[in-house]
């Protein structure tokens, strides 16, 4: 029932509503508030304030009841969440439990959620790479998915805009497949990673090993000081929430920046039911919200609405936003809403050992890895599978403690560890092809505790993914052999889609309203005051970690929305 109380409506009216406070939602809040627009950010989860609500951030290993592990009874209650690497004793409070927001799996899919201020920006792996024109042009070249409505040149200045504020450590590598950015000093490679890099240079012309580009401050700048952030301390405990702000999160950066303008209003424990469409005005007028605790409903209104709820929840909200004009979901004239969902294929791993560098070892904790950009099917189709894969790599020496004996013998063994052989590992980040058969939809009968239909996920791997895994194992086995590695062992985790935590698509960008939902400015083709700039907007996935692209796309779309707002 619409809220007809005019005074109440005016009190709940803003210039902009942003749904979601994570990676892209935080950026939308910053951009709008900075430009003077009164902005409401709606977060469905609990409030987490930077440095006030990080309960484990300074705990020592022995202070954890289970030494970092999740008890078996908690694992049994959370079979989906517990499969994720971030669901550990020091960070499980930032990961949504399985019962908190159920969904329907037509095929196995592990949906890892973080419902709180900042969303999963508190938990991300912080790896940041720009997409290149090879990625934006990929669908047009091979005919799978639709052509992106933008190219690298359209996003390049916005990548720079974001990188300068976030703080990205990396090297200027001069690779066309992975454009350089606005970098702070890189974290570098260790001796075995450098050895592998040299081997690749000697044996291949298109396979490059670089220091992983990551959202960590490695050099003091005024812009970081103004945010209240300082240099990374190399603790590598980022998933606990960083008290130093050494890595980027919405909590430590964009949301406080927005708040200090005085233009930000933020509400928590507020579940978005749907976006309200005004049939007379032919545009969206606001958002219907349900209090997560009391279950009371309230409407909020704004002439601009940004949907940044996280890819799958963004699809859910739009699908549930039904009206006489849009009976199948807001903006869904093409019938493609919820279709062409994609993700990253993380199943393939490979391990090896190396006998050299016995006089060297690693110390401390480095929060990034070595990285190899995509080298398959970059400029032309050259394999029996489409697109390609990147890889993150890591080298270290295992520390062996002699636990034999008793008393002084055991004590000596524990206090005098010895370094073992060098170990090297790589894991694949494969691009999956958006397919119409990979869909999310609303369940016809099941609803959550707020009366909202459960999301039904029907997403799976295909033959292209299997061929890519096989190629990754073959190519890295060859590369490892050329580098002098031994005891090479390849592995397929067989994990379900979702554990990559890179779900994308369903509300894709495109040039043609008949084959896409969003235009080049991320506006719904048929409801232009609604923008989608999180992972749901992605036309294809590329092989890069996507968060940097979400942030750049958001900043660009905000600039466009602000321009339209000023015209009105």
pLDDT of 12 over the 90 cut: yes
Asked if pLDDT for residue 2 goes beyond 60, the answer is no
pLDDT for 415 beyond 90: no
Query: Given a cut of 80, is residue 534 above it in pLDDT?
Result: yes
Contacts with 413 (C-beta within 8 Å, 6 or more apart), sequence order: 401, 402, 403, 404, 405
CA–CA separation, 131 and 177 (whole Å): 8
Q: How far apart are CA 464 and CA 382, in angstroms?
A: 14
In this predicted structure, the answer to whether residue 166 has a pLDDT above a threshold of 90 is yes
Note whether 195 and 356 are within 8 A (CB). Answer: yes
Do 392 and 319 contact (CB within 8 A), yes or no? no
Q: Each residue of 274-283: pLDDT tens digit?
A: 999 999 999 9
Mean pLDDT value across residues 178-202: 97
> Would the CA dihedral through 309, 551, 436, 154 be positive or negative?
positive
From CA 41, how far away is CA 183, in angstroms rounded?
30
Residues 438-450 have a mean pLDDT of 97
Spatial neighbors of 202 by CB under 8 A, at least 6 apart, are: none
What is residue 482's three-state secondary structure?
Answer: helix
Averaged pLDDT for residues 405-422: 88
Q: Are 149 and 509 in contact (CB under 8 A)?
A: yes
DSSP code of residue 432: P
Please report the pLDDT score of residue 1 as a whole number.
Answer: 34
Q: What is the DSSP letter of 69?
A: P
pTM: 0.96
What are the tens digits of pLDDT across the range 27-80?
A: 999 999 999 999 999 999 999 999 999 999 999 999 999 999 999 999 999 999
| pLDDT above 90: residue 463 | yes
Residues with Cβ within 8 Å of residue 73, at least 6 apart in sequence: none
* pLDDT score of 278: 97
Helix (H) or strand (E) holding 524: strand 523-524
- Average pLDDT, rounded, for the chain: 96
Asked if the model's pLDDT at residue 253 lies above 80, the reply is yes
| 386: pLDDT strictly greater than 60 | yes
The rounded radius of gyration (Å) of the Cα atoms in the chain is: 24
Q: Give the pLDDT band (50/70/90) at residue 4.
A: very low
The span from the CA of 520 to the CA of 149, in Å, is: 5
Q: How far apart are CA 179 and CA 171, in angstroms?
A: 11
pLDDT at position 6 over 60: no
Cα–Cα distance, 370 to 211 (Å, whole number): 5
Cα–Cα dist 498/87, whole Å: 14
Give CA separation, 17 vs 49, 73, 132, 320, 560, in Å.
Answer: 21, 40, 31, 18, 15
* Residue among 256, 240, 293, 307 nearest 95 (CA): 240
Cα–Cα distances (Å) from 319 to 134, 315, 339, 455, in that order, read: 32, 6, 11, 9
Residue 111 has pLDDT above 60, yes or no: yes
């Amino acid at each position: 029932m619409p809220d007809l109380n005019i005074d109440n409506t005016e009190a709940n009216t803003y210039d902009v509503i942003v749904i979601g406070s994570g990676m892209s939602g935080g950026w939308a809040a910053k951009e709008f508030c900075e430009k003077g627009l009164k902005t409401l950010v709606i977060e469905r989860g609990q409030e987490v304030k930077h440095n006030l609500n990080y309960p484990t951030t300074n705990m020592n290993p022995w202070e954890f009841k289970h030494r970092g592990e999740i008890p078996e009874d908690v694992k049994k209650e959370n079979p989906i969440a517990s499969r994720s690497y971030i669901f550990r004793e020091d960070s499980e409070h930032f990961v949504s439990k399985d019962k908190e927001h159920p969904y329907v799996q037509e095929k196995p899919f592990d949906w890892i959620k973080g419902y709180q201020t900042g969303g999963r920006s508190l938990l991300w792996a912080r790896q940041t790479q720009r997409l290149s024109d090879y990625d934006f042009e990929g669908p047009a070249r091979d005919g799978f998915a639709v052509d992106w409505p933008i190219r690298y040149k359209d996003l390049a200045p916005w990548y720079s805009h974001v990188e300068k504020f976030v703080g990205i450590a990396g090297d200027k590598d001069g690779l066309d497949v992975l454009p350089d950015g606005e970098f702070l000093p890189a974290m570098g490679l260790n001796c075995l990673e450098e050895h592998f890099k040299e081997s690749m240079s000697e044996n291949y012309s298109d396979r490059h090993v670089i220091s992983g580009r990551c959202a960590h401050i490695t050099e003091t700048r005024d812009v970081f000081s103004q945010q209240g952030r300082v240099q990374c301390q190399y603790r590598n405990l980022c998933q606990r929430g960083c008290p130093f702000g050494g890595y980027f999160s919405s909590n430590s950066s964009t949301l406080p920046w927005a708040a200090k303008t005085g233009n930000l209003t933020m509400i928590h424990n507020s579940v978005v039911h749907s976006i309200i469409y005004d049939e007379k005005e032919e545009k969206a007028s606001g958002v219907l919200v349900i209090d997560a605790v009391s279950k009371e409903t309230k409407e909020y209104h704004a002439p601009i609405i940004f949907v940044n709820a996280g890819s799958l929840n963004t699809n859910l909200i739009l699908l549930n936003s039904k009206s006489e004009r849009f009976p199948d979901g807001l903006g869904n004239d093409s019938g493609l809403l919820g279709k062409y969902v994609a993700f990253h294929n993380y199943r393939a791993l490979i391990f090896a050992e190396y006998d050299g560098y016995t006089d060297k070892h690693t110390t401390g904790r480095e929060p990034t890895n070595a990285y190899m950009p995509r080298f398959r099917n970059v400029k032309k189709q050259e394999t029996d599978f489409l697109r390609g894969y990147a890889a993150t790599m890591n080298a270290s020496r295992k520390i062996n403690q002699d636990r034999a004996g008793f008393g002084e013998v055991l004590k000596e063994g524990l206090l005098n560890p010895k370094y073992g052989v060098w170990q090297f590992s790589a894991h694949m980040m494969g691009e999956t092809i958006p397919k119409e058969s990979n869909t999310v939809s609303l369940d016809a009968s099941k609803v959550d505790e707020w009366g909202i239909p459960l999301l039904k996920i029907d997403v799976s791997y295909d033959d292209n993914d299997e061929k890519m895994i096989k190629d990754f194992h073959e190519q890295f086995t060859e590369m490892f052999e050329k580098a002098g590695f031994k005891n090479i062992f390849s592995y397929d985790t067989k994990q379900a889609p979702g554990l990559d935590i890179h779900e994308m698509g369903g509300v894709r960008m495109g040039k043609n309203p008949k084959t896409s939902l969003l235009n080049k400015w991320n506006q719904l083709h048929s409801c232009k005051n609604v923008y989608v700039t999180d992972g749901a907007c992605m036309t294809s996935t590329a092989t890069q970690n996507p968060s940097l692209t979400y942030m750049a796309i958001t900043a660009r779309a905000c600039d466009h929305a602000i321009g339209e707002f000023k015209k009105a």
